Amino acid sequence: MRKNYVSFSTLLKSVLIVTSPALVVLAVYVFFGMLVLSQAMYACGLVFLATGALIYPFLSNLSTLTHYVNEIAQDKRVAPPALSFLGSAGELSEALNRLQAGWDVKKKQMETIITEREILVDTLPDILIMVNDDKKVVRTNRAARAIFGQNLAGKALDDVIPNRYLLNAISSVIQDLKGREIEFRIEDPMVRDFLAIIERFPVPTAGGISTVITMNDITELKSVEQMRADFVANASHELRTPLASIKGFVETLMGPAKDDPEAREEFLAIMLEQADRMQQLIGDLLSLSKIEMNVHAVPTEPLDFAAVVRKEADTFVRMAAEKNQRLVVTIHDNLPQVKGEANELAQVVHNLISNAIKYGFADSDVTVSAKITTELPQDLNMRNLSRVVALSVRDQGEGIAKQHLPRLMERFYRVDSARTRQVGGTGLGLAIVKGIIQRHRGAITVDSVVGEGTNFTVYLPIYEA
Q: Which residues bind ligand ADP (CB under 6 A)?
A: 351, 355-356, 359, 395, 397, 400, 408, 413-416, 420, 425-431, 454
Whose Cβ is closer to ligand ADP: residue 68's or residue 359's? 359
The residues, any chain, with a CB within 8 Å of residue 427's CB and separated by 6 or more, are: 234, 238, 411, 412, 413, 414, 420
CB of 401 to ligand ADP, least distance (A): 10
Which helix (H) or strand (E) segment holds residue 448: the answer is strand 443-449
Which residue has the closest beta carbon to ligand ADP?
A: 425
Task: Determine the Cα–Cα distance for residues 57 and 323; give it in Å rounded to an integer.
Answer: 119
Whose Cβ is closer to ligand ADP: residue 271's or residue 430's? 430
Task: Determine the Cα–Cα distance for residues 460 and 392; give it in Å rounded to an integer.
Answer: 12
CB of 415 to ligand ADP, least distance (A): 3
CB of 362 to ligand ADP, least distance (A): 14
Whose Cβ is closer to ligand ADP: residue 192's or residue 323's? 323
Tell me which residue of 231, 274, 227, 241 sits closest to 428, measured CA to CA. 231
Please, what is the end-to-end C-alpha distance for the chain in angstroms? 79
Whose Cβ is closer to ligand ADP: residue 184's or residue 361's? 361
Whose Cβ is closer to ligand ADP: residue 141's or residue 426's? 426
**Side-chain-side CA neighbours of residue 296 (13 Å):** 1
CB of 164 to ligand ADP, least distance (A): 40
Strand runs labelled E in 190-305 = 192-200, 211-217, 302-303
Whose Cβ is closer to ligand ADP: residue 173's or residue 313's? 313
From its phi and psi, is residue 399 left (phi > 0), alpha (psi between -120 and 50) or beta? left
CB of 435 to ligand ADP, least distance (A): 11
CB of 399 to ligand ADP, least distance (A): 6
CB of 349 to ligand ADP, least distance (A): 13
- Is residue 240 a contact partner of residue 204, using CB atoms and an 8 Å limit? no
Task: Determine the Cα–Cα distance for residues 428 and 295; give it in Å rounded to an integer.
Answer: 17
Task: Determine the Cα–Cα distance for residues 342 and 440; give it in Å rounded to an integer.
Answer: 11
Whose Cβ is closer to ligand ADP: residue 51's or residue 287's? 287
Task: Determine the Cα–Cα distance for residues 452 and 37; give it in Å rounded to an integer.
Answer: 134
Chain centroid to Cα 267, Å, comes to 56
Tell me which residue of 365, 388, 356 sits closest to 456, measured CA to CA. 356
Task: Determine the Cα–Cα distance for residues 375 and 387; give it in Å rounded to an integer.
Answer: 7
Whose Cβ is closer to ligand ADP: residue 245's or residue 351's? 351
- DSSP-assigned letter for residue 148: H
CB of 328 to ligand ADP, least distance (A): 15
